[in-house]
């Protein structure tokens, strides 16, 4: 079974995030480790990192992701902006390493008129720089499939494949699939046939082994609109049937699936409950069997 959750707040301190996740019945959470609309950030104190790791260990949360800064553009043709973007990514990976968070999701970048090929090459060069600066840190950046607004790259699977093909260490990168973005980008995941075509295309172009996380967002805008407008599951154009297909798809077993709709906590609890109710009994049984060996290992360690 996949691990459901939400992007939760860190109000009052990072150590509150696992508790916020547990309060909504989540097994996975996504967080910001910093203000995502500012370049500068306050360094993490070791006490903060230790408190977060302790809270996480005591919680029911199995997966944690962070989302990188919305300011970052690894394809920027402007030298100073590109320098800031690269440093921001390096800092985020370093913060994740200290917090014990294995994945950071980020938008690949926008070419700003330079063209797709130059934009993809620039992203690859930036990632080579970032990965070299963070060598030895056990954190994997996840390129997020985008809706394709403006000159943003990443709205075609081929864009991401082009980045993987160009970087020196592709094994250190993964992919995060956002259901709203994929639909807005023009992939028909709202019908059974279109869903299978989309997954076959992903497997052919990128490989399902690259997929490390899914953002479960419905879409307020139509297929191919290239506009990123999230809706709660079942309240947009994708509909609950689409989410039922995803949640019962054994190809996604073990992945974190998080919603990114607005809170408060009570709304996330309801949304996660609505999604969990879509999981078929056979898939739930698989999840229980998968948990038993882990529980036995945990008792043995005690």
CA distance 57 to 22: 12
Q: What is the pLDDT of residue 281?
A: 85
- Residue 198 CB-half CA count within 13 A: 24
Q: How many domains are contained in the chain?
A: 1
Contacts of 207 (CB under 8 A, 6+ apart): none
Which residues in the chain land under pLDDT 50?
295-302
- CA of residue 211 relative to chain centroid, distance: 10
Pair of tokens at residue 17: 């995030």
The CATH code of the domain that includes 157 is: 3.20.20.150
Pair of tokens at residue 76: 């920027």
Contact by Cβ (8 Å): 205, 162: no
pTM exceeds 0.85, yes or no = yes
Q: What is the pLDDT of residue 81?
A: 98
* Helices 192-205/239-247 angle, 10° precision: 50
Q: What is the pLDDT of residue 174?
A: 99
Strands 211-215 and 256-259 come out as parallel
Q: What is the pLDDT of residue 51?
A: 98
Domain that holds residue 15: 3-301
Contacts of 103 (CB under 8 A, 6+ apart): 64, 65, 66, 96, 139, 140, 141, 142, 174, 176, 212, 213
Q: CA triplet 181, 210, 134: central angle to 5 degrees?
A: 100
């Amino acid at each position: 079974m996949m691990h459901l959750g939400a992007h939760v707040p860190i109000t009052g301190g990072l150590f509150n995030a696992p508790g916020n996740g547990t309060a909504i019945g989540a097994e996975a959470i996504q967080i910001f480790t910093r203000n995502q609309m500012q370049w500068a950030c306050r360094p993490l104190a070791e006490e903060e990192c230790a408190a977060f790791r302790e809270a996480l260990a005591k919680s029911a949360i199995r997966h944690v992701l962070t989302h990188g800064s919305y300011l970052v553009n690894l394809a920027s043709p402007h030298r100073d902006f590109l320098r800031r973007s690269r440093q921001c990514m390096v800092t985020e990976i370093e913060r994740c390493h200290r917090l014990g968070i294995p994945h950071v999701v980020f938008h690949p970048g926008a070419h700003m008129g330079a063209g797709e090929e130059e934009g993809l090459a620039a992203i690859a060069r930036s990632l080579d720089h970032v990965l070299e600066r963070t060598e030895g840190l056990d954190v994997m950046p996840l390129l997020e499939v985008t809706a394709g607004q403006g000159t943003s790259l990443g709205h075609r699977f081929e864009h991401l494949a082009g980045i993987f093909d160009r970087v020196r260490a592709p094994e250190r990168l993964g992919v995060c699939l956002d259901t709203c973005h994929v639909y807005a980008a023009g992939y028909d995941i709202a019908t059974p046939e279109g869903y299978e075509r989309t997954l076959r295309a992903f497997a052919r172009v990128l490989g399902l082994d690259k997929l490390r996380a899914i953002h479960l967002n419905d879409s307020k805008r139509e297929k191919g609109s290239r506009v990123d407008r999230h809706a709660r599951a079942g309240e947009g154009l994708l509909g609950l049937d689409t989410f039922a297909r995803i949640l019962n798809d054994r190809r996604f077993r073990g992945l974190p699936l998080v919603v990114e709709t607005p809170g408060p906590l009570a709304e996330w609890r309801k949304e996660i409950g609505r999604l969990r109710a879509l999981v078929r009994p056979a898939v739930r049984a698989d999840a229980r069997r998968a948990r038993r060996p882990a529980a036995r290992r945990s008792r043995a360690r005690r």
